[in-house]
Amino acid sequence: MKKSGFLFKPYHVWAIRSSLLCLTALLMSSAAGLRAQENGTIVGTVTDPSGAIIPGVTITVRNQLKGSVARTTTTNASGNYALPGLPASTYSVRAEKSGFAPATRSDLVLNVGSDVRVDIALTVGAVSQEVNVTAAAIVLHTENAQVSESVTGKHVEAIDTNGRNFIQLANLVPGAVGPSLVGSFNTPVGVTANAGINFNGERQAHNVFSVDGQENYDRGCGGCIEVVPDQDAIQEFKVLTSNAQQDLGFGSAAHIQLEIKSGTQNYHGEGFEFNRNRALETQPFFHNKAGLKRPYENYNDFGFN
């Protein structure tokens, strides 16, 4: 066939199609890899009452919020297991093997990009017997040396922010120095706007932002956020300030990882309205002395999901 004076032979068409297909697959795999950076990992070792390792134990991880099985694996010859690529949620881990009573650890909170160790000790018994540990224990993150702080959804919902800008919550992290918000109204920053927060003395331009594993900042702008999700859409976010792993160490300051809310096994929704106007504000002292009127202000942020 002939297009614009250039002769396309059949193998040329085949080569172009193959190249486009490979490029599409490469882009999709890259996106999946970036998403994996935001996900967490549950690791552990299964032992018997004497402390000896048990290989071949079936490990089932269930997402308690979604009510579905997230992943299944078996322990290796060393009695260890690892389940990477788990999104932030609350999980239960069940271990079972013939000759031992099944054991379940529930209410395990996995934060954004966290590695959690869950060791399980099986007792000799019948399959009909089962050991359940449902009390939420303090989970120690011993799998890496990174320094980070997670701001959970409860904090995002409960802590007041001046202007519904989630970035203000990052000021709660040790080592963060933000701009003074006294007398200001800090609305959510828009495209090419800077967060204005320094971490551990580093420049603001060296911060990295990501949403669900995808880069969310303009490298050419220097630390500028491209898209700022509504505060009610954020499940939680994590601020990694030092000792980042190699797949997250492309910024010398902080890496702010956001996780957006997703569905659960129960139908639910919510509506919100944030209003700020001059009728609800006090008049500054010196404005009263000067006989000035309150400036006009009326801001509404509303929606539902």
Kindly report the average pLDDT of the chain as a whole number.
76
**Is a pLDDT exceeding 60 seen at residue 191?**
no
Range picked from 157-171, 211-225, 278-292 for highest mean pLDDT: 278-292
pTM listed for this prediction: 0.64
Measured at the alpha carbon of residue 66, what is the angle toward residues 60 and 72, in degrees to the nearest 5? 15
pLDDT at 10: 60
Which DSSP category does 140 fall into?
Answer: P
Per mean pLDDT, which range of 11-15, 87-91, 101-105 is the poorest?
11-15
Q: How far apart are CA 292 and CA 51, in angstroms?
A: 76
- Looking at residues 14-31, what average pLDDT do you find? 60
Mind listing the pLDDT tens digit for each residue in 106-160?
A: 999 888 878 889 999 999 876 666 677 765 555 555 556 566 677 777 777 777 7
175-208 burial code (b ≥16 CB/10 A, e <16)? bbebeeeeeeebebbeeebbbbbbbeebebbebb
Residue 131 structure tokens: 């050991």
Higher pLDDT, 121 or 274: 121
pLDDT at 32: 45
Q: How far apart are CA 252 and CA 254, in angstroms?
A: 7
Of 132, 36, 120, which is closest to residue 80 (Cα–Cα)? 120
What SS3 class is residue 182?
coil
pLDDT at 136: 55
Task: Give domain 147-260's CATH superfamily.
Answer: TonB-dependent receptor, plug domain (2.170.130.10)
pLDDT at 81: 96
**Is a pLDDT exceeding 70 seen at residue 66?**
yes
**Is a pLDDT exceeding 90 seen at residue 278?**
no
Task: Give domain 40-133's CATH superfamily.
Answer: Carboxypeptidase-like, regulatory domain (2.60.40.1120)
44-60 burial code (b ≥16 CB/10 A, e <16)? bbbbbeeeeebeebbbb
Range picked from 57-71, 181-195, 204-218, 236-250 for highest mean pLDDT: 57-71
Q: How far apart are CA 242 and CA 302, in angstroms?
A: 36
Q: For the residues of 197-250, what is the DSSP string, one character each?
A: -EETT--GGG-EEEETTEE-EETTTSSEES----GGGEEEEEEEEES--TTT-S
Per mean pLDDT, which range of 114-123, 174-183, 227-236, 239-248 is the poorest?
174-183
pLDDT at 35: 45
- Looking at residues 91-118, what average pLDDT do you find? 90
pLDDT at 53: 94
pLDDT at 263: 74
Confidence of residue 31 (pLDDT cuts 50, 70, 90): very low
**Is a pLDDT exceeding 50 seen at residue 33?**
no
User: What percentage of the chain carries pLDDT values higher than 90?
Assistant: 17
- Looking at residues 40-57, what average pLDDT do you find? 93
Residue 136 structure tokens: 């939420």
